[in-house]
Amino acid sequence: MIPGEEGNRKVLSSHPIAGERGRHMGTGAEEIAVTGEGDDGMKKPIRVAVTGAAGNIGYALLWRIASGDCFGTNQPVILQLLEIPPGMQRLDGVIMELKDSAFSLLHGIVGTDDPNIAFNEADAIFLVGSRPRTKDMDRSDLVAANGPIFVGQGKAIDAMASPNVKVVTVGNPCNTNALIACANAPSIPSRQFSAMTRLDQNRAVGQMAEHAGVPASKIHDVFIWGNHANTMYPDPRFATVDGKMATEIFDREWLQGSFLDTVATRGKAIIVARGASSAASAASAATDHMRDWWQGSNGRIVSMALPSEGWYGVPEGLVFSFPCRCENGDVIVVEDLPVDSFAQSKIDENVAVLLEEREAVSELLGS
């Protein structure tokens, strides 16, 4: 490790990757060689930025990315890890452990507290870092505490990232944080920003699998509408359980009662049981989200919160979870699903909450 200083910012440096052509990042952070697709079928390395990298989710997520679970087993990665100054020592330890894991796909690591270095030429970005909610905070306090982080990070993404970057926001309140980052990155198309509701979808899959006594792989096409908050709606109407409609297998009372409640309040239940918020399952969901976006969802419906283009009557720009399919690196919202009165009432409830959150951060959304 070669500790370094970049202005007032700290850069932890990286281990270099093998290759013939060296290319400097232009930041003083490191020397990285970038290779093209080789005889071994390996692709050119991509740059993957993760914020809050020394936190609990980061500790699980980085290993999934470096092992190939997210971008594929023939896709080398250069990890560009962002922390705030108090997290830099922990990040140093995380980087040591990543090196000690000897991943063959890991072609470089940068640890920094400067977003411009972390997002430099990034192809994929996981915005995980944010201030956690404490006991005395309500949701509006959380929005106010975290909003400004995503102004600066949005600007840095705009200035530094690859024009084709894919961004997933995990840090809460993730829908509104994604809205702020997107608004502050005007040169990047809004379709390249998203927020994560995949954990909520995976929780819904887990509940259905357990209730039906089948493995999770037998559950398809249950998805989430709305906000990553307890107003979300896990929609079971198009889901299948081992090829049969979920609405024929489960009764309506369970689907609109304890199934919905369990999924919507699972985060809190985990905090109560574990004494800490979901971390491994959140990292797994972030991996699933980006993997499907990057590699395709194989025709399956998946949940992604995206800046609305007016789909299902959701006001333009609100970052709202929709049913999506991923193909060739694009997300396509499934636009033709019928909406019954119960689903519409849940969509309306989520729109109302997200409009309030947007109003609360209106000063952070630029012009």
Catalytic (active-site) positions: 228
Query: Distance between CA atoms of 353 and 367, rounded to whole angstroms?
Result: 22
Stretch that binds ligand NAX, among 17-25, 47-55, 154-162, 229-237 (CB under 6 A): 47-55
Going across the sheet that includes 46-51, the strands are 4-6, 9-13, 106-112, 77-82, 46-51, 124-127, 166-169, 193-195, 302-307, 319-327, 330-333
Give least dist CB 33 to ligand NAX, A.
27
Quick check: 125 binds ligand NAX (CB under 6 A)? no
**Would you say how long the chain is, in residues?**
367
* Contacting residue, 78, 94, 106, 149, with ligand NAX by CB under 6 A: 149
The number of residues that bind ligand NAX (CB under 6 A) is 29
Stretch that binds ligand NAX, among 82-90, 236-244, 289-297, 329-337 (CB under 6 A): 82-90
Stretch that binds ligand NAX, among 19-27, 76-84, 240-248, 332-340 (CB under 6 A): 76-84
Quick check: 231 binds ligand NAX (CB under 6 A)? no
Give least dist CB 111 to ligand NAX, A.
11
Residues 39 and 71 sit within 8 Å (Cβ to Cβ)? no
Quick check: 55 binds ligand NAX (CB under 6 A)? yes
* Contacting residue, 30, 83, 292, 357, with ligand NAX by CB under 6 A: 83
Quick check: 51 binds ligand NAX (CB under 6 A)? yes
Give least dist CB 275 to ligand NAX, A.
12
Tokens 């993730």 label which residue? 174
* Contacting residue, 4, 43, 72, 84, with ligand NAX by CB under 6 A: 84
Query: Distance between CA atoms of 28 and 116, rounded to whole angstroms?
Result: 12
- Which positions from 152 through 181 interact with ligand NAX, judged by CB under 6 A? 170-172, 174
Query: Distance between CA atoms of 174 and 195, rounded to whole angstroms?
Result: 6
Query: Distance between CA atoms of 157 and 102, rounded to whole angstroms?
Result: 29
Helices (H), 101-228: 115-118, 139-160, 174-183, 198-212
Beta bridge partners of 241: 219, 244
Nearest to 120 by CA among 34, 26, 187: 26
Give least dist CB 176 to ligand NAX, A.
12
Can you tell me whether residue 338 is helix, strand or coil?
A: coil
Quick check: 196 binds ligand NAX (CB under 6 A)? yes
- Amino acid found at 355: L
Quick check: 129 binds ligand NAX (CB under 6 A)? yes
Cis peptide before 236 (omega within 30 of 0): no
Residues 214 and 206 sit within 8 Å (Cβ to Cβ)? no
* Contacting residue, 130, 194, 202, 207, with ligand NAX by CB under 6 A: 130
Strands 77-82 and 46-51: parallel
- Which positions from 254 through 293 interact with ligand NAX, judged by CB under 6 A? 267, 277-279, 282
Instruction: Write out the residues near ligand NAX by the rule CB under 6 A.
Output: 51-52, 54-58, 82-84, 87, 128-132, 149, 170-172, 174, 196, 199, 228, 267, 277-279, 282
